[in-house]
Amino acid sequence: MLPLDVIRKYYLDLSDEDLKKIQEFVYLLCCGLMQYFYGPDWEEDIGDPDLENKED
């Protein structure tokens, strides 16, 4: 998730509760974009990247 300190830089006057609402909104927006572009099973594909070139 986006750290609250990063959000606080742009919204200095908001309470921690409001910052958490923004944090949750950004997280859900990112999840929605990932699902839109990569399909509903995008979370299953996330893991340690396999940097080796393997032939199947």
Domain edges within the chain: 4-37
pTM for the full predicted model? 0.68
For 44, the token pair is: 């299953």
Q: Quick one: pLDDT at residue 52?
A: 55
Here the tokens at position 38 are 């990569």
The mean of the pLDDT values for the chain is 84
Tens-place pLDDT, residues 38-51: 888 877 766 655 54
Task: Give SS3 for 29.
Answer: helix
**Closest by Cα among 17, 19, 24 to 1:** 24
